[in-house]
Amino acid sequence: MRKGVIECGAEKNWVIASLVWGVCVFTLFPACGGGDNQGSQDAFIPRDAFRPDAPDSFVVADGGAMDSPGPSPSDAGSDAAMPMDAGSDGGPSMPSNDCMGYCRLVTMNCSGDNSQYIDMSDCMAKCAALGWPPGTPGENTGNTIACRITHAMMASGGSAEEACRRAGPTGGGVCGAPIAFDMRPSEMATRVDRMGMPAVATASIPRGRRNEYNDANPADDLMLRFANDQAMAIAQLHMLLDDDLMAMGLMPCSMTMTEMLPIGPGGAMVPVPRCFAQRTIDGGPRVIELVVPDTLRVISTQPSRFPNGRQPNDPVMDVVLAAVLLDLTRHSPATFAMMPLNPPSNATGEISDRFPYLGVPARP
């Protein structure tokens, strides 16, 4: 997830993204982290993972990063297209057994659908970061540069798909180290975060209770253990932003008018603010049901888009903000997403249909 710095003190006519997150980050929540033990997702880390004499981590993947989608040969850059020097017999010589030789070869021979890197610079960066040993020129197994070079050379003579996978960062099960799964029981691990819906702990749980929230379970959510904190946080946002939303021609949802819903312990009826009682999808769950409990759910009869699942191009945070700030009987959940808030230079274009389903990174 990319993170940026948003300055405060902006005029009220700033775009809604800067306004909302500026208020969230600097006014309501001075440090929008998930607490002292926050992570980026549900994660379990061994208690002694950071000791010098720590045992193996829960998942060790020495083979390196996962395959990255790449551009066509014309996008690979001039370095990637450079031919190897001719050998004494007139044919190509073995490339230098280092990142430069490897990256020139793999970006040249593995292109299009078989690309393993975005471009030459991407390959050089990954090669340096992953620190593969040089190995012995000509070897065809082992987590080395030499093994990857061998298979990158094979890619020019036939079955490029398999050869390129072996020449890539993961090694395709041949030039990469096997993945070792640690089978220790979960009781030996420490939870650092829990996250179903995005931004719940970050934006609606007070800093002093975030560790408590991360240590809790969905069953605690159903007991409404954190419901008052969440309601107060969103109510504060409305107090600060409703006049700005209305100045933009947008109708805020109400945090003062309530509906009775059976979401209390044992299905008890409790008053719920209108903002939390509205639905983002016709016939779908209410906003409060997306965070109480804080889990991810998919309804097979509903359209496959956030919050009913998530596709790579879904404007997740725009939908989240619309759900808690706008009257969805008057505005679409995609209202903020349709506003021209992101600079054109940040556009990533088409998302790759290959794992890990990334777009072309934005250039500075």
Residues 98-119: tens digit of each pLDDT = 999 999 999 999 998 899 999 9
Query: CB of 123 within 8 A of CB of 129?
Result: no
Joined together, the tokens standing for residue 52 give: 């010098």
74: helix, strand or coil: helix
Q: How far is the C-alpha of 36 from the C-alpha of 207, rounded, in Å? A: 9
Q: How far is the C-alpha of 309 from the C-alpha of 328, rounded, in Å? A: 19
Note the pTM of the prediction, 2 decimals: 0.52
> How big is the chain, counted in residues?
364
Query: What pLDDT digit, counting tens, does each position of 50-62 carry?
Result: 333 333 333 333 3
E strand or H helix at 43, and its extent? strand 43-46
Q: Is the pLDDT of residue 314 over 60?
A: yes
Confidence of residue 283 (pLDDT cuts 50, 70, 90): confident
91: helix, strand or coil: coil
> In 3D, which of 250, 229, 257, 186 has the Cα closest to residue 20?
250
